[in-house]
Structure 1
Amino acid sequence: MEKHHSCLNTRAIIEYFREHHPEDLTTLLSDLHEEIGNLPNPSEFLTEINNWVSSEVVIRMFENARRITGDPDIAFRIGFASAAGRKFSYVQRILLAAYGNPRRSLRRAQQINDRFNRNKRVEIVETTRDSGIVRLHWDRGIAATKDFCLYNQGIYIGIPTLWDLPPGVIDEPLCFFKGDPFCEYHLKWLKRFSLKDTLLNTVFPWRTVKATIVELEHDKELLRQKFDEVHRLNLKLKSKIDELLRLQQELGESESRFRTLLDRIPGVAIQGFTADGKILYWNQSSEQIYGYRSEQAIGQDVVELIIPMDRREAFRKALALIPSIETDESGEFLPSGEHTRRSSRGELVSVYAVHTVVRLKDKPP
């Protein structure tokens, strides 16, 4: 399944719940798509921004969030909290802070979006010092819901808070999820008038850079720990693989010795066949006694090949009863004793025969 969203988006949802609804985290992560349900630690995966997930996962997380909180606008609140709470990833913070103000950041919305989402195109229609018009063109081939729109609205009005401005104001005259060709946001925010603040946040965004460096160092340490853990797991895995290869080799050698024994045991004709009589195995003594080479016999019907005409019906009836016998154990399906068989030359051959059913778990007899 295609991955459309960086887990930056799912991390925003999880962090919101950790802060506001920690008791509901398990419910939030329940009944997600199978791509997440099969993971040993879904929460860890969904908070690592370098991981990606499909739109279906994000849709279900928003649905769970809405069901848990009973708030139809919860996606909006999550988006705003991720911006106003400064819980963007360090990559986003560097990009946004480097542009110095909401207007410059807005102009590069598509560049920022492309790093974390693949389900829409951002069109900047107009920007001024304190306003902007943005259109989100959603990919019709990728699943999306109104929650995606609300989530983006929350982010856009929260962006001005990165420069210690009040939240922006948003109006949406057009909405893709109401039948319009795209979502159109009309944004307004307060202009900054302080030259000092402008310089500090445009030329020297030290606070943001410092916080980002701290987070980078933290992530670096996490990566080192993850690397060490992966290395340990790789060593364990290699040890297990080596052990399995050794056991496989020993099993192969054992099977080879046993097969050689069966093939070459003198005077004992051994045949293997299915419950419907198809021959699967034919050893050297069978070749000598019945006159058929192994390649001639394998795949043939044992009844037609070596059972005399007057005994075929009884033998087939005995074979037909094998699948209906309710037991998991191997055992005889015909009494052992003297039996008459027919060779390739049409001659009758007297043999002492033992007829055994071999039963293996989940395999036909």
Structure 2
Amino acid sequence: MAKRRTITIKEVARVAGVSVTTVSNYLNGQMARMSPETRDKVGKVIEDLHYQPSSAAQSMRSNSTKIIGVIVGDISNVFSPLLFGGLQKVLKPRNYSLMLLSADNDPDDESRCIGKLLRQHVDGLIIQPTQDEPEAFYPITVSGTPLVIVDGIVRALPRNAAHVTSDNTTSTAAMCRELHERGYGRILTVSESTAPTSSQMPRLRTVAGCAADLHMEHVALDMRGHDDAWLAESIRGGLTPGLRTAVFPLMGPMLFHTLDALMLAGLSFPDDLGLVSFDDWNWGRFIGHGVDLLQRDIDEIGRLAGESLLRIIETGSPERSEISVPTKRIAGHSL
């Protein structure tokens, strides 16, 4: 069998009609002063010649591994691949590879994931946290590794890090006011207390506060340790004749459980109660002529997180430390 010929950076430069330095800058993501035409030409030649640079040599020359570590709380949650897709749109064109790990909503696992990625000398970290203590990010701060936190709520943001999340409080408060205006007097929230950093927590606090201000009743149903049959009985027990009740799952997976529970309880919306939820990932419109939703733009969260991380890598600090992504109100027929 003939030995496969190794393509060199010099050959890429010759075919593209540019200097070796230009090709090197392209490979290291240093394209700020490169024209779009040159960037596209170099990229096409690299693809056509199937050029594979030595990752070890690249790292030694640029002090960069071109790897970004991503830690999510739960890989089975649809949030994770949607976030990953948004990150890819920004980081892949800059020749970064993503290394994805799941912490399974376990603080100890998250710490182990952080240590593993730091030992890989990743250029940056994007974390959906399960821990809200500043000490959890101490190894990242000491190593000087750029960091962006997504979705989760933390007590204190590490210096020169960025935090990208959805507008949890604003959108939840607006939903509570809408329910009040529609004549609902009781809200049953459905959540699962997996971690203190969960975006469900500010939503839950907002519902409680708004319900009190609007003189509405609020019952918090926490599914931690319970099944859908328990939820069905809890929802049924939360209904009172003459008092309009709305069920409000605080994240997409809880909507799945709520729909199953309503079926088990023999309840329908909007006849027996109202239903509104965070997230459904575009399938809720097929249920009962459409579920009323607060839809997060997770792809945009990923895109902005990627852009923020690149900014920290290149300049040492983010343009904005706190970024809130608007939530879209999707009208359905469940209220």
Is TM more than 0.5 here? no
Q: TM-score, normalization: structure 2?
A: 0.22
Q: TM-score, normalization: structure 1?
A: 0.21
Which gives a bigger RCO, structure 1 or 2 (Cα 8 Å, sep 6+)?
Answer: 2
- Of Structure 1 and Structure 2, the greater helix share is in 1
**Greater Rg over alpha carbons, structure:** 1
